[in-house]
Amino acid sequence: MTKINYKKGNVIKAAKQDIKNNNLNIIIPHICNNQGKWGKGFVKALSNEWIEPENIYKKDYEYKKMNNMNILGTSSVSHVENFNIHIYNMIAQKLYEKNPIRYWALVKCMINIKKVINNLDQNNHHKIYCPKFGSGLAGGNWKFIERLILEIWVEKYDFDVTVFEF
């Protein structure tokens, strides 16, 4: 059985390097808030590299808000680096709350990542590279989130997951 791999370093740099050397689709999931706000935490690093993830997040947020949709538990994806890196925005943080993470929303998003992978080029191998999402600004417990990764992505779907720590 696959396990979670941990690496020191920058997830974005590693993803860009690894797609050059391999036939890979890399999915980078992270947590976003439910208020359309982008600019703190991991998203700053994304915006320094690509504009697409922020644009997709904001357009998706506006569409859902305009249609009175429940935003928590939904996700959006943007494709960068010639469609080999896929930024997966998981809306699982209720902004302006003392403990903003919503685990039920995170689980829903984590399960839905299977749909993203099913839509990718099946000739390439798929890997998930991620920061320690949900345990920073969202206020979540990393040990619990790690258990969710193991149960959902590793055990249920047999995905290769690498967590990057700075």
On the question of pLDDT at 1 being above 70, the answer is: no
- Bridge-based pairing of strands 160-165 and 85-93 is unpaired
What strands lie across the sheet with 85-93, from one edge to the other?
A: 4-8, 160-165, 125-131, 24-33, 85-93, 75-80
Taking residues 134-155, report their average pLDDT.
94
pLDDT tens digits for range 76-87: 999 998 889 999
pLDDT tens digits for range 124-143: 788 999 999 999 889 999 99
CATH no. for residue 59? 3.40.220.10
Question: How many domains is the chain partitioned into structurally?
Answer: 1
Give me the domain span that covers residue 149: 4-165
Q: Which two tokens stand for residue 101?
A: 């993470």
